[in-house]
Amino acid sequence: MSNLDRTISVAPMMDCTDRHDRYFLRLISKHVLLYTEMVATGAALKGDRQKVLGFNNFEKPLALQVGGSNKKDLAEVAKIAEDMGYDEININLGCPSKKVQKNKFGACLIKEPDLVAECLDAMVQACNIPVTAKTRIGFDDVEDFDYLNNFVGKMAATGCKTIILHARKAILKGLSPRENLKIPKLNYPMVHQIKKENPNLEIIINGGITTCSEIKEHLSNVDGVMIGRAIYQSPYFLADIEREIFDNSDILTRTEIVEELVRYVSEEVKKGTRVNQIMRHTVGLYHGQKGSTEWKRYLSANMMARDSDFQKVNHILEIVQNNEKEKLAV
C-alpha cells in the first residue's frame, strides 16, 4: 500500500470528472483523492496527449483511470501516467456499458481473472506509482463471495494492493449503465467481509453512499470510501466531508468558490475553453440552499450553450453575493 490518502475519493465518472470538474472540486476539498474519467488505452496512446491526459497540478492528488485489456498497451499508459505526474493509475473493471464490453474492458473482465492478473502485472512492472483496480462484486448471475475473494487474491498477487469495490454486481446484458447504478442491489456486507479476509489489502467501498454518518460507519469496516453521484449532484457535500471526516474547518464558502472559479474561467477562455465546458459542473453547488433555483436558472439561461458569453460569468457573482446578503438578513 502507498502513502496516498484514500480515506475519501471521488469516483471516476464519464462526462463528469474532467479536468474542469476536478479543479472545481479541489476548490472545495483539499484532502479527497480525485480520479479522471476513464480513458481508453487507445485514446491515451494515439490521441492528443495533453488534451486527453493533461491536468492542472492544483488538482492533485490525482489518479488516472484507464480502460483496456491489452497488457502491453496498459503497461505503456502506466508509464506515461507516472511520467506526467499522476499519483496513481487505476484499471476500470466495473463499467458495464455495451461499448466498453465490445472493446473488451470494464466489467466483462470480471469473468477473466487470469487476463486481469496479466494486465495488472504488466502495469505494476512498468511504473513506480501505485497500480489499483476498481471493480464490482460480481456479474450477471454471479454474486459469490468465494469467486470475488479469489479474484481479489489474483489481483493482489500482482502487487495491486488497493482494490475499490462497487458493492453491486454488473448486469452485462439488458441494463443500461445508468440502470446498473440503481437496479442491482447493494451488498455492503460482502465488501466488509473481503476486508476481513484480506487485512493486508487496502479495500475501498463504493456505491450509494450519501452522508457523513454512512461514511463513518463504512470506515469502521474498510479503509476508504469512494463517492460518485452524491458529490457530482451536490458538490458542497465535500465541505461536510472536510469538516466531519478530515477535521478541517478551513473551507471556502460557496461565494468564495465562485469567485475563484470566475478567475479560472477567465484564464481558460483565453486558451480556447468554452464557458459551458466549465460551468456545467457547478449546477449543484447550491443544492438544498436558498437561491438554488435562481442559480440553476441563470446557468441554464446563460452558461450552458456552446457560445456562452464570458461576460455573463461576471454577473453570476451578483447572484451569489445577493444570496449571501439574504442569508445574513434572515
Query: Which residue is catalytic, options 95, 119, 127, 160?
Result: 95
Q: What is the DSSP string of 121-184?
A: HHHHHH-SS-EEEEEES-BTTB--HHHHHHHHHHHHTTT--EEEEESS-B--SS--TTGGGTSS
Nearest to 311 by CA among 277, 269, 254, 283: 269
CA neighbours closer than 13 Å in the CB half-sphere of residue 239: 17
> Alpha helices, DSSP H only, in 198-253?
212-219, 229-233, 237-244
Q: Tell me how far apart the terminal alpha carbons of the chain are, to the nearest angstrom.
A: 49
DSSP state of 76: H
Q: Is residue 95 annotated as part of the catalytic site, yes or no?
A: yes
Cell of 247: 477535521
Nearest to 131 by CA among 171, 97, 99, 158: 158
Cell of 124: 505494476
For residue 115, count CB atoms less than 10 angstroms from its CB and return exposed for 0-12, middle for 13-18, buried for 19 or more: middle
User: Which SS3 state, helix, strand or coil, does residue 104 take?
Assistant: coil
The answer to whether 100 touches 56, Cβ cutoff 8 Å, is no
Rounded Cα–Cα distance for residues 25 and 252 (Å): 11
DSSP state of 4: -
Rounded Cα–Cα distance for residues 67 and 124 (Å): 15
For residue 255, count CB atoms less than 10 angstroms from its CB and return exposed for 0-12, middle for 13-18, buried for 19 or more: middle
- Catalytic amino acids? 95
